[in-house]
Structure 1
Amino acid sequence: MARKGKMNTVMRKEARKRENEYLKELETKIQEYEPKTSNAKFFKDLPISTHTLKGLNEAAFVKLTEIQKESIPVSLKGYDVLGAAKTGSGKTLAFLIPILEKLYRERWTEYDGLGALVISSTRELAMQIYEVLTKIGTHTSLSAGLVIGGKDVKFELERISRINILIGTPGRILQHLDQAVGLNTSNLQMLVLDEADRCLDMGFKKTLDAIVGNLPPTRQTLLFSATQSNSLADLARLSLTNYKSVGTKDIANKDDNEPATPKTLQQSYVISDLADKLDVLFSFIKSHLKAKIIVFMSSSKQVHFVYETFRKMQPGISLLHLHGRQKQKARTETLDKFSRAQQVCLFATDVVARGIDFPAVDWVLQLDCPEDVDTYIHRVGRSARYGKKGRSLIILSPQEEIFLQRLKSRKIEPEKLTIKPSKKKSIKPQLQSLLFKDPELKYLAQKAFISYVKSIYIQKDKEVFKFDSLPTDEFAISLGLPGAPKIKIRGMKSIEKSKELKNSSRKLKALSKADDDGEIRDKSKEIRTKYDKMFGRKNQTVLSEHYMNITGNQEGEMDGEEDEDNFMTIKRKDHVLNEDELPELSLPSSIRAQKRALSKKASLSTKGNASKTVFDDEGVAHPVYELEGEEDFVKRGDAETQKEEYLKKESELMTTADSTDKQVAKEKRQEKKRKRLEAMRREENAEYSDDESDVETQVYLGTGNLSDDMEDADSDDEEGQRKRARFADSSSDDNDSKANDYGVTEIDAPETLEDLESLTARLIQ
């Protein structure tokens, strides 16, 4: 037994020795590897471990892309990396492989805590990174976790302390850094920012600064994006001083002869009026029913409106929609459905414009002009990925045609297309009909109009987005609205502030709203009854509050103009109040005055009977009973004549009311008679029934009127007495009483002396 244990110890030592030698050999290969002189085309040519190679082969990743060939060796040597490459070039593996190799060479275990942190700008991109990591890291002993908004926080808090590689969005990662007790970042080895330009912008600035403040400065940092930010301030915030730039050479340089979009992407554009864009979109979908399409729009309200209306018009293809205001479960299901489908159209915002790898997307349509060229590059990058073919189409209005010059400056020159009049179909009448029938669709159209106009107003490039020349009336009609809703435009500072608050961490908001004693109220733990929920519930359909938000003063004014088209208004008058007419509100000084003030009789004796008033349509007060003027009375004729007419009218009313009352009384009597007969019939059936077990027990609760029930009871007693009298007379008249089957004669018991003598005589006979 001791020898066997000794053998196991020897074997472990030999295995540890072999592993140490393998790691030294791997480290030597990494230091000697030169990506410039190397002709590596496959992952097996790189100095990476066998565990990672095995996972890559099983996940069908064999051949290297350009960004992977350049960046992975640099990352393996421990340098900070600023990577920029075209969309669909494999940037995800370019930072996941160095993470696995770094932790493997450091012999990382679950007891070492968090080793790598990957920050993504959107939930969908974080989920995609996590799925790729689980595929290629199956043969390693590392643990990975995904933390994004919309998931159960408590479930994540219980397990996050045992995570080696953490992937998530900025807000949720910061929340766990504040709340999770076991999450320790002091030993962090690598920080990765995917879509770094989006993570570094103003929307995530405070959140990212708070995260970086909790990380050690000795870490290795990797930044990847299709459109890279070279701002020195942004790089200094991440302690990125001695870094290597890899990928496309200065992708933002205008003098670069190579465009930032894939070569296999066929790009085109169409010039169309703003009012005709939906017609063009619907006609395009009808003519491409066997394609996989993504349609990008500027706001979630536009996506919701177009999806609901097009779904009712049934273009002949499956429709999906995806935007940031949806629940996480719905977003995940939509992503899964679109990825698996072959013929489908997805309406989406820019939430899926970055990094998401949708398989085999045929067309990328941009219904609204993107805010800049970088957004255009990310949008069209959903197609033509990994060398496959794809097509894109951007629909520009005549005012936005100058955007083509912005694209040309980045060596992007889409081809102009013309629409055949026979292929174009107008859907304006259908939209008007749908909005007329469904008020909720009308509300969605109004919100879509408002969100689009506001999105044009806040754009920075005023040469492309001309707010003053926006054809609002024609655009409203194209949405099916009868006219353009008035909009209240806030200042740019408030818009930027709201945008910053939207992307900021909810945990930071809660901390800023903490009580004086530092406690944060958790609304989820407050007790709320069903009545609290009922009264706190808001109407989800189109009723007064939603309608007033659009047409009322809250959002119904623009540049201080008042709404003159309201058909329901309150005519309010500012009445001048004289101080002499106001009642004395001070407490009476004498006891007698106090009693008189508290006595109703005394107050009425001094001020007269209290009178009620009513208000007419003009807001003027009138007494409830107002005397008619003498002139008006004379105009209607002689007093005697008016008296006769009044008496005649009242007598007719009395006659009508009398006949109605008689009819009601007659119906009541008939009903009582019917009930009495039914009761008698039930009694007879009960008395003469041969089989008592067949008789059902019945309960009667009366008519509901106590007086009627009493009368019915009295009448039933009288009827019963008469019935018993008739039965007694018949029995007394029948002297020849018949015996029953057992020979026993049934005779009524004698009550008087005469009855007893009569019975004795009958028995003697």
Structure 2
Amino acid sequence: MAKETKTIKKVSPKEAQRKQNQDDIATLEAKSSHPENYSNAKLFSELPLSDRTQKGLAQSNFKQMTEIQRKGVPLALAKKDVLGAAKTGSGKTLSFLIPVLEILFRQQWNAADGLGALIISPTRELAVQIFEVLKKIGKSHTFSAGLIIGGKEFKVEQERIARMNILVCTPGRLLQHMDQSVGFSCDNLQVLVLDEADRIMDMGFQNTMNAIIENLPPQRQTLLFSATQTRSVKDLARLSLKDPEYVAVHEKAEHSTPKTLSQHYVVTELPKKLDVLYSFVKSHLKSKTIVFLSSCKQTRFVFEAFCKLQPGVPIMHLHGKQKQTKRVDIFRKFTSSQHAVLLCTDIAARGLDFPSVDWVVQLDCPEDADTYIHRVGRTARFDADGHALMILVPSEVEGMVEELKKKRVPVEEIKIRTSKQQSIQKQLQSFCFQDPEIKYLAQRAFVAYMRSIYLQRNKSIFDVTVLPAEEFALSLGLAGAPKIKFVKKAEKKLMGAQEKKMKEASSGEEEEEEQAKTQRTKYDRMFQRKNQDILSEHYSKLVDFEGDKIKLDGGLEDDDDEDFLTIQRADHTLESDEDEDAMNNIAGENISKRKLKMSKKERAKNMARGDKLVFDEEGNAHAMYELVEEKDFLKDGDAKSQIKAFIEQKGELMQTADKEDKEYVKQKKLEKKIKRKERERAALKEDSSEASDAEDQGSDMSEDESGEEEPERKRKWFEDSDSDSEDESNKKRIIDVAEPQTLEDQEALALKLLGA
């Protein structure tokens, strides 16, 4: 019998590795489909994660999971939609980055598959931070990841965006790429992540988010994380999530803020705020502090002023008016600093993870309790210790403390030691006097703060009318408070509300008004209607012009001789020009609100136009163009013949006028020529008189030298000086010369005469 031979097929190392990878992925899929098995896991190593992800977490020193990570990551790995809510600093970033990497890894995602995961953040700084964490834990994976935010070159992003597997972006720039970038497609998207969803909706991205979600495929996994669950977040979750798993970590906690955070507030007058802040900075030079202000202009002013004061610690500032590159540089510089002070707006209040922050100081009162929670969340992160201090003015204390109590935030009041407090008002005044730029920044900061208080919705906390504006301006170094219109508007509103309350309180007055309403006639009601100009003809008939009295000599009132022939109108006088109601209700006329708001120019446009009149030789007024009947018009001929006659008549008049004008111009030229010649002759006469005077002076000098007296007589310019001697013949010698024209000619003539 022939022996049967078995052929063993050799397997290449690549195929063996591929098969091993597929087996590992199948194992991970099976383990991840049962998230309840990992409810008690405390370490990342206990989760069903790939070796590449485990390696990245170990190298980044992420070992122990936080509570939100223990509950959220297993559910996300099971490809379920997650709606997560947790305090700031609780580790939400890793809760969605780990599932993103794992889901794409299990599907063996590569560059040819296109975009697989989309992570949307409300601010650029938070997007940069998420991208940095993604690079750390995902550096062992082979995915391509990109950061798409505003402030960078759009064309460069367009060239690379089509090759990205994971995108970290802000809503506005993402929608711009969806509209304009060729080749950018989201049709194959697997995971959508919305970080700080409440902030995305609060910043006015509702329409943008709706447009983005419409461009995404419905078959996808969505992870939505937020520190607070507002109504807008619930609406967003309803639009984008399907049967989500709700993960609320601190919902039943005693306090909304971490236990390791000590929270206090200080009550001080508005002009003393900067003194308190500077004193705090000087007494905490070895601390890392974040100071929150309400506007970009305030941040810029305080930064410039504190840099000049040189408190002894590095001062930085971060706000939305800066360029993107500068914001990223400041973010990284403060992150790496050990001791520094960062002055910022609420742009840094959400999600940003600054390591080892000791103090969070809120120089300006937060908008609401949620904003307060996000601000203080920059410290006491991941079970670390932290301190929070809020500086309030007296009008804000009661309302803000009540708001924080409703949100389960424990805050205690502390007092400031007077010995530790320093005043910087004189230094700021000196800076404003010496540097116009500092003065300009102070003015803008003043207006920005007052506007921020005026625009706040909660008027029980923010009341711009009770703030000492003049004293606050002096504390910024200004000589006086800049003019701000909205404060006056707020005061008028407040006065109107008080008057309304007073009217409502007086019941007797209400009854009188009701009686008056019942007794009004139809004429009274007509005069009180709006758009009164419609009734102007009826009104002119009903006005009591008989009440206008003319006082004549010997009339009704002849006691006062000074009022002779003066008109006294009854009930038509205005006591004040500033009273707009009186101005617009002259003689009982009620004008609409639209007309009251119109300027003088607009009213002039709407006024009736006068007709231009022409007076004939007899003094009768006629319109510029008067229409006549056709019969009277045709008496002078048809239209063409009249036009021709009119043109000929006017042409003759123009020709005669042209002749007269030419004659007039010719006469003017002749007069100018005559005047010019007269001026030339007068100039020649003046020159000759000057020459004769010079000769007289010369002869007088010779007489004085000889000592002989000579009787005075007039000499002509052609006479010789020696002709004065008494000669019997009394003859004069005449020298024929040309009339001298210049001073040189006169001098030459004088020499000839002397030589002769």
Q: SS of the counterpart of 2:265?
A: strand
Q: Deviations over 1:149-184 (max 9, x none)?
A: 111111111111110000011111111111221211
1:17 aligns with 2:19: yes
| Displacement of 1:9 | 6.5
Q: Distance in 2 between matches of 1:33 and 1:598?
A: 111
2:299 aligned residue: 303
**In structure 2, what residue type is equivalent to 1:212?**
I
1:171 aligned residue: 172
2:363 aligned residue: 367
Residues 13 and 244 (structure 1), Cα distance of their counterparts in 2 relative to 1, 3 Å cut: same
1:695 aligned residue: none
1:395 aligns with 2:391: yes
| Displacement of 1:488 | 3.6
1:590 aligns with 2:592: no
| Displacement of 1:101 | 0.8
Tell me if structure 2 keeps the 8 A contact 1:262–1:384. Answer: yes
1:459 aligned residue: 456
| Displacement of 1:607 | 12
| Displacement of 1:201 | 2.8
Q: Distance in 2 between matches of 1:398 and 1:195?
A: 33
Q: Distance in 2 between matches of 1:411 and 1:230?
A: 19
**In structure 2, what residue type is equivalent to 1:289?**
L
1:330 aligns with 2:323: no
Q: Distance in 1 between matches of 2:664 and 2:69?
A: 96
1:208 aligns with 2:193: no
Q: SS of the counterpart of 1:200?
A: helix
Q: 2:273 aligns with which of 277, 280, 286?
A: 277
Q: Distance in 2 between matches of 1:321 and 1:398?
A: 27
* TM-score using structure 1 length: 0.63
**In structure 1, what residue type is equivalent to 2:18?**
R
Residues 468 and 19 (structure 1), Cα distance of their counterparts in 2 relative to 1, 3 Å cut: same
Question: Any residues of structure 2 matched to 1:244-323 within 5 Å, and which?
Answer: 244-250=245-251, 256-323=252-319
Tell me if structure 2 keeps the 8 A contact 1:33–1:47. Answer: no
Tell me if structure 2 keeps the 8 A contact 1:113–1:161. Answer: yes
Q: Distance in 1 between matches of 2:663 and 2:238?
A: 82
Q: Distance in 2 between matches of 1:487 and 1:304?
A: 20
Q: SS of the counterpart of 2:133?
A: helix
1:704 aligned residue: none
1:100 aligned residue: 101
Q: Deviations over 1:464-490 (max 9, x none)?
A: 111222221221111111222122449
Q: Deviations over 1:353-407 (max 9, x none)?
A: 1111111111110000000111111111111111111111000011110201111
**In structure 1, what residue type is equivalent to 2:16?**
E
1:435 aligns with 2:432: yes
| Displacement of 1:318 | 1.1
Tell me if structure 1 keeps the 8 A contact 2:198–2:232. Answer: no
1:354 aligned residue: 350
1:58 aligned residue: 59
1:218 aligned residue: 219
Return the index of the structure with the highest Cα Rg: 2
| Displacement of 1:230 | 4.8
Tell me if structure 2 keeps the 8 A contact 1:597–1:603. Answer: no
Residues 436 and 16 (structure 1), Cα distance of their counterparts in 2 relative to 1, 3 Å cut: same
Q: Distance in 2 between matches of 1:310 and 1:160?
A: 42
Residues 233 and 70 (structure 1), Cα distance of their counterparts in 2 relative to 1, 3 Å cut: closer
| Displacement of 1:258 | 2.1
| Displacement of 1:72 | 0.2
Tell me if structure 2 keeps the 8 A contact 1:404–1:413. Answer: no
Q: SS of the counterpart of 1:95?
A: helix
Q: Distance in 2 between matches of 1:118 and 1:136?
A: 16
**In structure 2, what residue type is equivalent to 1:424?**
Q
Q: Deviations over 1:440-497 (max 9, x none)?
A: 11111111111111111111111111122222122111111122212244999xxxxx
Question: Any residues of structure 2 matched to 1:376-455 within 5 Å, and which?
Answer: 376-402=372-398, 403-455=400-452
**In structure 1, what residue type is equivalent to 2:651?**
S
Of residues 197-206 and 110-119 in structure 1, the stretch that sits farther from structure 2 once superposed is 197-206
**In structure 2, what residue type is equivalent to 1:159?**
R
Q: Distance in 2 between matches of 1:401 and 1:172?
A: 40
| Displacement of 1:14 | 2.8
* TM-score using structure 2 length: 0.64
Residues 312 and 605 (structure 1), Cα distance of their counterparts in 2 relative to 1, 3 Å cut: farther
Tell me if structure 2 keeps the 8 A contact 1:200–1:234. Answer: no
Q: SS of the counterpart of 1:330?
A: helix
2:747 aligned residue: none
2:195 aligned residue: 194
Q: Distance in 2 between matches of 1:602 and 1:295?
A: 87
**In structure 1, what residue type is equivalent to 2:158?**
L
Q: Distance in 2 between matches of 1:486 and 1:274?
A: 18
Q: Distance in 1 between matches of 2:16 and 2:59?
A: 29
| Displacement of 1:45 | 0.5
Tell me if structure 2 keeps the 8 A contact 1:71–1:247. Answer: no
Structure possessing the higher relative contact order (Cα contacts under 8 Å, 6 or more residues apart): 1
Tell me if structure 2 keeps the 8 A contact 1:596–1:602. Answer: no
Q: Distance in 1 between matches of 2:190 and 2:58?
A: 26
Q: SS of the counterpart of 1:468?
A: helix
Residues 52 and 592 (structure 1), Cα distance of their counterparts in 2 relative to 1, 3 Å cut: same
Q: Distance in 2 between matches of 1:603 and 1:258?
A: 105
| Displacement of 1:245 | 1.2
1:486 aligned residue: 483
Q: SS of the counterpart of 2:266?
A: strand
2:82 aligned residue: 81
1:32 aligns with 2:34: yes
1:49 aligned residue: 50
Q: Distance in 1 between matches of 2:612 and 2:256?
A: 77
Residues 589 and 231 (structure 1), Cα distance of their counterparts in 2 relative to 1, 3 Å cut: same
Q: Distance in 2 between matches of 1:605 and 1:295?
A: 85
**In structure 1, what residue type is equivalent to 2:280?**
F
| Displacement of 1:599 | 10
Q: Distance in 1 between matches of 2:474 and 2:663?
A: 68
Q: 1:470 aligns with which of 456, 467, 471?
A: 467
Q: Distance in 1 between matches of 2:440 and 2:184?
A: 46
Q: SS of the counterpart of 2:162?
A: helix
Residues 352 and 605 (structure 1), Cα distance of their counterparts in 2 relative to 1, 3 Å cut: farther
Question: Any residues of structure 2 matched to 1:513-592 within 5 Å, and which?
Answer: 589-590=650-651
Q: SS of the counterpart of 1:87?
A: coil
Of residues 290-299 and 23-32 in structure 1, the stretch that sits farther from structure 2 once superposed is 23-32
| Displacement of 1:139 | 1.3
Q: Distance in 2 between matches of 1:349 and 1:607?
A: 78
**In structure 1, what residue type is equivalent to 2:30?**
T
**In structure 2, what residue type is equivalent to 1:130?**
F
Q: Distance in 2 between matches of 1:589 and 1:467?
A: 73
Tell me if structure 1 keeps the 8 A contact 2:196–2:225. Answer: yes
**In structure 2, what residue type is equivalent to 1:97?**
I
1:150 aligned residue: 151
Q: SS of the counterpart of 1:162?
A: coil
**In structure 2, what residue type is equivalent to 1:290?**
K
Q: SS of the counterpart of 1:258?
A: coil
Question: Any residues of structure 2 matched to 1:219-238 within 5 Å, and which?
Answer: 219-231=220-232, 234-235=235-236, 238=239
Q: Distance in 2 between matches of 1:338 and 1:139?
A: 28
Residues 111 and 271 (structure 1), Cα distance of their counterparts in 2 relative to 1, 3 Å cut: same
Tell me if structure 2 keeps the 8 A contact 1:145–1:167. Answer: yes
| Displacement of 1:336 | 1.5
* Number of residue-to-residue matches in the alignment: 514
Tell me if structure 2 keeps the 8 A contact 1:121–1:199. Answer: yes
Residues 579 and 46 (structure 1), Cα distance of their counterparts in 2 relative to 1, 3 Å cut: farther
Residues 425 and 19 (structure 1), Cα distance of their counterparts in 2 relative to 1, 3 Å cut: same
**In structure 2, what residue type is equivalent to 1:71?**
G
Q: Distance in 1 between matches of 2:134 and 2:413?
A: 41
Q: SS of the counterpart of 1:223?
A: strand
1:547 aligned residue: none
